[in-house]
Amino acid sequence: MGGRRKPSCRGGGDSLAPDTPTPTESRHVSFSTADCPSAAAAPVSLATLDRDCFIIPVARLDRFLPAGVPMPLLRKSPGRLSMLEVDDPKLCMLMHLMTSLEPIDPVLESPLDCPATQQRSNAIELLNEVGAAKAAAQGMLLANLEKNAEFPFISYYVVDKRRADPEELYRDLRAAALRRFHPRLTRHTVEHTLELFDEVATIARPPLDPRRERPPPPATGYIVSVYRVFQGDDREALERNWLYWTGARMLYRYLPKSVGLRRITLHKSVSGGDKMYLLLCECSNFLDNLSAAAILLPAMRARLCGYTGLYRTCQSF
């Protein structure tokens, strides 16, 4: 979409999917007239939304509106739909995924060394460096809760494109990460994956927090899934079925209520070449109900599709 305004499409529904695999209106940014008997019940602001809803940028509707759901009419929606059109916040996400530190010479590695502690300390210092420079509006460092994780740490930055250049932050962060984790200093090697992402679809549960206040509550935790597809494989058929292959539908329907599901957000990389998708599932009572939160982890991993891990926030700004 052109112009100065890129609205997002928001709406509510009580359920995202029925028992059958065919999507229905309730999985969409709308709900039926039975759920919304009068125009007065239609949402007029984010603060008044009292149902689970989809949040999909208008420019992405044709790609991420679930398959089988009719395209809504934004300006004059029929009575069966309840829509809320809001301004695009013009945000971009920068993710920094790190593998575990590996010693350059394992034979000479001291048993007193603690690579995980060293990596955590360097990652926190890097996050604080970005925060001090005010290049990102918000940031947090996620630490994996499992042993031998493929990505023990993930840094998540929210960039306001009206105040900062995401590409410039990407270059600065890459240079800073390579400098801070240089093998000459750490005596270890680590692989860095940095990508700029757009939020392409979100399942949100009220009360909505459009400002994404940080730091999150102490018990907040995340289920993170990372996927990569070859260039050209990010076709419409794939993206309109994102609820299934990402596991978002499974998480929404079967996560126990005790974990406090807040939102499930799908991100897509904006760079050329191969595409990355990152699914972030935020739960407000995650750490207080860790066993319940991890109940779906074997099912997510059994699909042999992407990488899935459990994370908590260890630093934020």
Task: Encode pLDDT of 288-302 as tens digits.
Answer: 999 999 999 999 999
Task: Answer yes or no: do 139 and 254 share one domain.
Answer: yes
- Specify the length of the chain in residues: 317
pLDDT in the model for residue 212: 57
Backbone angles phi, psi at 4, to 5 degrees: -85, -10
Cα–Cα distance measured from residue 225 to residue 86, given in angstroms and rounded to the nearest whole number: 28
pLDDT in the model for residue 38: 42
Place of tokens 């509550």: 217
Task: Answer yes or no: do 30 and 123 share one domain.
Answer: no
pLDDT in the model for residue 239: 96
pLDDT in the model for residue 112: 83
Task: Answer yes or no: do 116 and 17 share one domain.
Answer: no
Q: Which of the 8 DSSP states describes residue 181?
A: T
Task: Answer yes or no: do 36 and 158 share one domain.
Answer: no
Q: Are strands 221-229 and 275-283 parallel, antiparallel or unpaired?
A: antiparallel
Q: Which of the 8 DSSP states describes residue 27?
A: G
Q: Which residue type does 276 have?
A: M
Q: What residues of the chain score a pLDDT lower than 70?
A: 1-44, 46, 72-83, 209-214
pLDDT in the model for residue 255: 96
Q: Which of the 8 DSSP states describes residue 156?
A: E
Cα–Cα distance measured from residue 275 to residue 231, given in angstroms and rounded to the nearest whole number: 6
- Cβ atoms 306, 244 nearer than 8 A: no
Q: Which of 88, 105, 123 is the last residue before a domain boundary?
A: 88
pLDDT in the model for residue 10: 46
125-174 pLDDT tens trace: 999 999 999 999 999 999 999 999 999 999 999 999 999 999 999 999 99
Cα–Cα distance measured from residue 66 to residue 11, given in angstroms and rounded to the nearest whole number: 14
pLDDT in the model for residue 35: 40
Determine the structural domain holding residue 308 and report its residue range: 90-317
For the chain, how many structural domains are there in total? Answer: 2
Task: Answer yes or no: do 51 and 117 share one domain.
Answer: no
Task: Answer yes or no: do 53 and 125 share one domain.
Answer: no
Q: Which of 88, 120, 146 is the last residue before a domain boundary?
A: 88
pLDDT in the model for residue 190: 97
Task: Answer yes or no: do 194 and 272 share one domain.
Answer: yes
pTM above 0.95, yes or no: no
Residues 6+ apart with CB under 8 A from 294: 310
Q: Which of 60, 88, 116 is the last residue before a domain boundary?
A: 88
Task: Answer yes or no: do 124 and 58 share one domain.
Answer: no
Domain CATH code at residue 248: 3.30.70.100
β-strand partners of 196: 94
